[in-house]
């Protein structure tokens, strides 16, 4: 095995935490010697021991009192620069420095940490081995751009309609597409919608995928509504586990929520159109340590987000039907900004789910 194939394996390990590390990062780690894997670990859920610590622990368990000998001269391959500061757990750097590693191979540098020079000063060879991957997009986006990564999930017809005019129909796409969409909720720190969707559909906006719910350490992502209208406390949005946010122009409207434990009411500045300023909203959400947002809104809010270039990725499910004048288009703004037309977006995935099409567009 080569060093880079260990990095690929470490990335596979990192992926195991993708639905459970909420507000944290996916990290995988492999410890090897003479091209043989001796131990491995990944960051399993928010607050759990870090990947490097779990990999070292796996060697302690396997080799008992000989573990120091085994670790001495070995290579630690980790997908993200080891932490050098105290977080929920002590710095991994301190633990790594105890065991005479020969080499540390890092998949991505972490601008919030400073381990590389300290490892080198300790005589450890440090290599950077970047393998393109999509893990931790929100984390890096937050660090570099001081705002969360925004995915929009939209179910539409062939003629790009997403919202029925009459309130007598609900689903556009098939059950399997809707189940696939659950995965993106679980990948996110916050599911965000507008008051129009809350009033019309009364959605739960939670994760209901049985396999994901069984994962150790899984927690429901937070949910947020952007609204200036009054809301009933009996809405499904407010039921079940998970933090709930009301992002509004005036907190006073929501006095009836002040005693609800898991509900936070946060005021956001208005823009020139007297609507909630979405850039200010994203700044506020960034301050809540949210890295990944899933936007699941109707045409009004989706249009505002697209008009202001605030969406980084579109997950689009298209059902093989035309809704014509029975429904509204997903986007009512300058059509050159639509992901279907904009040069700023690239179609990176196209697949079928039963008779539906699934498209993923990413900002380039």
Ligand X SMILES: NC(=O)c1ccc[n+]([C@@H]2O[C@H](COP(=O)([O-])OP(=O)(O)OC[C@H]3O[C@@H](n4cnc5c(N)ncnc54)[C@H](OP(=O)(O)O)[C@@H]3O)[C@@H](O)[C@H]2O)c1
Interacting residues with ligand X (CB under 6 A)? 154-155, 162-164, 172, 193-197, 200-201, 226-229, 275-276, 278, 296-301, 304
Whichever of 26 and 282 has its CB closer to ligand X, that residue is: 282
What contacts 278, CB < 8 A, 6 or more positions away?
271, 304, 305, 308, 310
Q: Identify the residue whose tokens are 């004048």.
A: 325
Q: In the bound complex, what is the minimum distance in angstroms from residue 156's beta carbon to ligand X?
A: 6
Whichever of 102 and 284 has its CB closer to ligand X, that residue is: 284
Residue closest to ligand X (Cβ): 298
Does residue 42 sit in helix, strand or coil? strand
Q: Identify the residue whose tokens are 């070292």.
A: 56
Q: Is the dihedral of CA 277, 280, 284, 286 positive or negative?
A: positive
First to last CA, the chain: 33
**Active centre residues (catalytic):** 52
Q: In the bound complex, what is the minimum distance in angstroms from residue 304's beta carbon to ligand X?
A: 3
Whichever of 133 and 300 has its CB closer to ligand X, that residue is: 300
Whichever of 1 and 165 has its CB closer to ligand X, that residue is: 165
Alpha helices (H) along the chain: 3-15, 51-63, 67-71, 92-96, 116-121, 137-145, 175-186, 195-201, 210-213, 278-287, 299-307
Contacts 24+ apart (CB under 8 A), 240-248: 240/204, 240/206, 241/206, 242/206, 245/190, 245/288, 247/276, 247/281, 247/284, 248/276
Q: In the bound complex, what is the minimum distance in angstroms from residue 264's beta carbon to ligand X?
A: 17
Q: In the bound complex, what is the minimum distance in angstroms from residue 343's beta carbon to ligand X?
A: 24
Q: In the bound complex, what is the minimum distance in angstroms from residue 299's beta carbon to ligand X?
A: 4
What contacts 34, CB < 8 A, 6 or more positions away?
none
Q: In the bound complex, what is the minimum distance in angstroms from residue 318's beta carbon to ligand X?
A: 11
Whichever of 136 and 163 has its CB closer to ligand X, that residue is: 163
Q: In the bound complex, what is the minimum distance in angstroms from residue 174's beta carbon to ligand X?
A: 13
Distance from C-alpha of 285 to C-alpha of 147, rounded to nearest angstrom: 8
What contacts 185, CB < 8 A, 6 or more positions away?
191, 205, 206, 207, 221, 294
Both tokens of residue 77?
């391959």
Whichever of 107 and 224 has its CB closer to ligand X, that residue is: 224
Whichever of 215 and 360 has its CB closer to ligand X, that residue is: 360
Q: How many helices (H) and strands (E) does the chain have?
A: 11, 16
């Amino acid at each position: 095995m080569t060093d880079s194939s260990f990095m690929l394996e470490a990335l596979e390990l990192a992926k195991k935490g993708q639905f459970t590390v909420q507000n944290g990062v996916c990290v995988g780690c492999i410890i090897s010697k003479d091209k043989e894997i001796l131990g491995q670990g990944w960051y399993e859920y928010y607050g759990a021991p870090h990947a490097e610590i779990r990999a070292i622990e796996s060697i302690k368990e396997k080799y008992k009192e000989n573990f120091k000998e085994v670790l001495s001269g070995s290579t630690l391959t980790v997908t993200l620069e080891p932490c050098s500061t105290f977080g929920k757990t002590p710095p991994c750097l301190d633990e790594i420095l105890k065991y005479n590693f020969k080499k540390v191979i890092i998949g991505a540098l972490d601008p919030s940490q400073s381990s590389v020079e300290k490892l080198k000063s300790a005589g450890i060879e440090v290599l950077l081995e970047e393998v393109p991957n999509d893990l931790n997009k929100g984390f890096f986006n937050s660090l570099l751009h001081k705002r969360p990564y925004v995915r929009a999930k939209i179910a539409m017809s062939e003629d790009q309609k997403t919202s029925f005019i009459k309130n007598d129909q609900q689903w556009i796409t098939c059950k399997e597409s809707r189940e696939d969409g659950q995965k993106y909720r679980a990948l996110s720190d916050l599911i965000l919608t507008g008051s129009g969707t809350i009033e019309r559909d009364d959605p739960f906006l939670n994760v209901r995928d049985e396999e994901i719910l069984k994962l150790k350490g899984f927690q429901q992502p937070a949910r947020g509504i952007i609204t200036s209208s009054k809301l009933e406390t009996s809405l499904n949005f407010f039921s079940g586990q998970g933090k709930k946010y009301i992002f509004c122009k005036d907190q006073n409207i929501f006095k009836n929520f002040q005693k609800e434990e898991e509900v936070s009411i946060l005021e956001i500045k208005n823009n020139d159109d007297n609507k909630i300023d979405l850039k200010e909203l994203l700044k506020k959400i960034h301050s809540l340590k949210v890295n990944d947002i899933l936007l699941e809104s109707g045409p009004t809010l989706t249009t505002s987000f697209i008009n202001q270039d605030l969406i980084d990725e579109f997950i689009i499910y298209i059902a093989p039907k035309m809704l014509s004048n029975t429904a509204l288009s997903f986007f009512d703004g300058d059509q050159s900004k639509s992901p279907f037309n904009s040069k700023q977006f690239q179609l990176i995935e196209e697949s079928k789910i039963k008779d539906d099409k699934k498209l993923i567009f990413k900002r380039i």
